[in-house]
């Protein structure tokens, strides 16, 4: 084990060695630290700390586990003029994110319809790795989506103005989408409005606990309210964007090789490859915003058919739709100086507090949505002022795995996991039996322990807790 130095009840420091330009900071407690079976995620924190232009620290959130190059839960910021951009620091599933949809329905109104709702959602929303969308796009429409994001969905009747206001970056990041390859576009053209596989999910939930009554009311949330959470990303298009640029950078003379990990090969932000990658990443992020928006549209249709009311009267507004797996240009105060940075959040999300958040969330802060596993709970939080200094206003994005998918398949059976979920009153609809074992609750860290660290380290403050009623997995 690396020589970690405990600096608080909720944080450890990985002191600088000769290969590191900054220290590592891991937000974690003793209980979660025991989940580590090897040093690899901590080694990744150290390797990120060696990258050119890194500022302040290589940071990891309490959901830390091994990823590609960066650990999942990794946060690192680089000077925009002298630093690097790392596709491995963003990941393959660009803007894998979460949309949380409210309703004005209470649990008692929904409980006897849960199975029918999830079965109809399963019919409406393709789930699984190879399933294609019923929505057919031409090349021009796809190009518009990559450039315009949710504005395209608004113009085509799939989104409202309010949906845009409740989406990170209003659902559109400025970019030159012409750098996205034909192969990436070919992979994405039939995948809009699809859930995908792995840890992606659609979940019907209810508000089971309120921790901050004032903020909950400002978010329009109350006890026993039914919500729907969607977790998915840019699908094959984003994966191909990452593949294209990781391959190009590894084979180019411009790539900055990392002697400890070739997965961290990167390029300077100012380089031509770096700028092409950033534009392509942003285009993939726009695709992802629209993907979740089309799924939201389909969810509204299913609820309308089930309850014989339009979605407006059902109160089916988006609370918030946020991004994980991004590198974003931001300004932060470093040693009393405002600096332009490129903040990489790999399996992490933005958590800007009141006064920093803009628009309708300026008085509350942007909602921070942290899903747990499919058998326990998810949380809505808001960021803290202190955390703007500590982690560039970032939070973890989930509970984080403790078992690999292979280990989960070896340890559990679909029957045992289904029994466990049934005992908790949770209905599940999955594309394969394999995904049931891979995503079993015991494959993930204890979400309540993760939230304890997030709160204790002043990363974000809990507002409310959501528990699952039914889960749809790809």
Report pLDDT digits (tens) over 138-160: 999 999 999 999 999 999 999 99
DSSP H helix total and E strand total for the chain: 17, 17
Q: CA-to-CA distance for 66 and 85, rounded, in angstroms?
A: 20
Question: What is the domain extent for residue 153?
Answer: 5-473
229-389-257-15 Cα dihedral, nearest 10 degrees: -110
> What stretch of H or E contains 237?
helix 235-251
Q: CA-to-CA distance for 396 and 394, rounded, in angstroms?
A: 7
Relative to beta strand 427-430, strand 460-473 is: parallel
**Active-site residue, selected from the candidate residues 65, 239, 344, 397:** 397
Question: Which residue from 473, 396, 411, 9 is spatially nearest to 203, judged by alpha carbons?
Answer: 473
End-to-end Cα separation, the chain, in angstroms: 36
Residue ranges at the known binding site for GMP: 199-203, 324-325, 371-374, 378, 397-400, 473
Report pLDDT digits (tens) over 231-240: 999 999 999 9
Q: What is the pLDDT along the chain (474 residues), one digit of tens a residue?
A: 578 999 999 999 999 999 999 999 999 999 999 888 789 999 999 999 999 999 999 999 999 999 999 999 999 999 999 999 999 999 999 999 999 999 999 999 999 999 999 999 999 998 866 556 667 789 999 999 999 999 999 999 999 999 999 999 999 999 999 999 999 999 999 999 999 888 899 999 999 999 999 999 999 999 999 999 999 999 999 999 999 999 999 998 888 988 889 899 899 999 999 999 999 999 999 999 999 999 999 999 999 999 999 999 999 999 999 999 999 999 999 999 999 999 999 999 999 999 999 999 999 999 999 999 888 999 999 999 999 999 999 999 999 988 888 989 989 998 999 999 888 999 999 888 888 999 898 899 999 999 999 999 999 999 999 999 999 987
String of b and e for 277-313 (b: at least 16 CB within 10 Å)? bbbbbbbbbbbbbbbbbbbbbbbbebbbebbeeebee
With vertex at residue 310, the alpha carbon angle to CA 229 and CA 209, rounded to the nearest 5 degrees, is: 35
- Residue 252, pLDDT score: 86
Q: Into how many domains does the chain fold?
A: 1
Helix ranges (H only) for 376-444 are 385-391, 405-411, 414-423, 433-438
Joined tokens for residue 13: 């420091």
Please return the burial class of 330, using the count of CB atoms within 10 Å of its CB with bins 0-12, 13-18 and 19+: middle
Specify the CATH number for the domain of residue 131: 3.90.1860.10
Residue ranges at the known binding site for Mn(2+): 93, 200, 231, 324
Residue 471's DSSP bridge partners are: 203, 428
- Residue 404, pLDDT score: 87
The verdict on whether 239 is a catalytic residue reads: no
């Amino acid at each position: 084990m690396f020589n970690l130095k405990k600096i608080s009840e909720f944080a450890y420091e990985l002191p600088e060695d000769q290969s590191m330009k900054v220290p590592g900071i891991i937000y974690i407690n003793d209980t979660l630290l025991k989940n580590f079976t090897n040093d690899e995620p901590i080694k990744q924190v150290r390797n990120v700390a060696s990258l050119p232009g890194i500022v302040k620290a290589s940071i990891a959130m309490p959901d830390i586990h091994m990823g590609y190059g960066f650990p999942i839960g990794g946060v690192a910021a680089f000077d925009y003029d002298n630093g690097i951009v790392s596709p491995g620091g963003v990941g393959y599933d660009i803007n894998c994110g979460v949309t949380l949809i409210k309703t004005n329905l209470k649990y008692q109104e929904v409980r006897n319809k849960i199975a029918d709702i999830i079965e109809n959602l399963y019919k409406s929303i393709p789930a699984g790795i190879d399933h294609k969308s019923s929505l057919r796009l031409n090349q021009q429409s796809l190009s518009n989506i990559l450039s315009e994001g949710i504005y395209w969905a608004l113009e085509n009747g799939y989104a409202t103005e309010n949906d845009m206001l409740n989406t990170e970056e209003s659902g559109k990041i400025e970019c030159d989408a012409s750098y996205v390859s034909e192969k990436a576009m070919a992979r994405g053209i039939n995948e809009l409005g699809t859930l995908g596989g792995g840890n992606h999910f659609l979940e019907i939930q209810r508000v089971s606990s309120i921790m901050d009554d004032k903020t909950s009311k400002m978010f329009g949330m109350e006890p026993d309210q039914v919500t729907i959470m969607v977790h998915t990303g840019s699908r094959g298009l984003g994966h191909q964007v990452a593949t294209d640029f990781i391959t190009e950078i590894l084979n180019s003379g411009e790539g900055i090789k990392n002697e400890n990990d070739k997965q961290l090969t990167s390029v300077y932000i100012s380089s031509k490859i770096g700028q092409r990658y950033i534009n392509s990443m942003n285009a993939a992020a726009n695709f992802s915003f629209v993907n979740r928006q089309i799924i939201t549209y389909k969810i509204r249709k299913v609820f309308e058919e089930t309850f014989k009311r339009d979605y407006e009267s059902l109160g089916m507004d988006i609370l918030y739709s946020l991004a994980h797996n991004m590198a974003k240009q931001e300004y932060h105060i470093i040693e009393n100086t405002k600096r332009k940075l490129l903040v990489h959040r790999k399996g992490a999300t933005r958590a800007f507090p009141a006064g920093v958040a803009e628009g309708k969330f300026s008085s509350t802060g942007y909602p921070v949505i942290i899903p747990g596993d499919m058998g326990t709970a998810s949380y809505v939080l808001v960021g803290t002022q202190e955390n703007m200094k500590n982690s560039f206003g970032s939070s973890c994005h989930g509970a984080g795995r403790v078992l690999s998918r292979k280990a989960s398949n070896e340890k559990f059976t679909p029957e045992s996991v289904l029994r466990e979920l049934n005992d908790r009153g949770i209905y599940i609809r999955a594309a394969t039996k394999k995904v049931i074992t891979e995503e079993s609750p015991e494959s993930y860290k204890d979400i309540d322990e993760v939230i304890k660290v997030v709160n204790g380290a002043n990363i974000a403050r809990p507002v409310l807790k959501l528990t699952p009623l039914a889960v749809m997995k790809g």
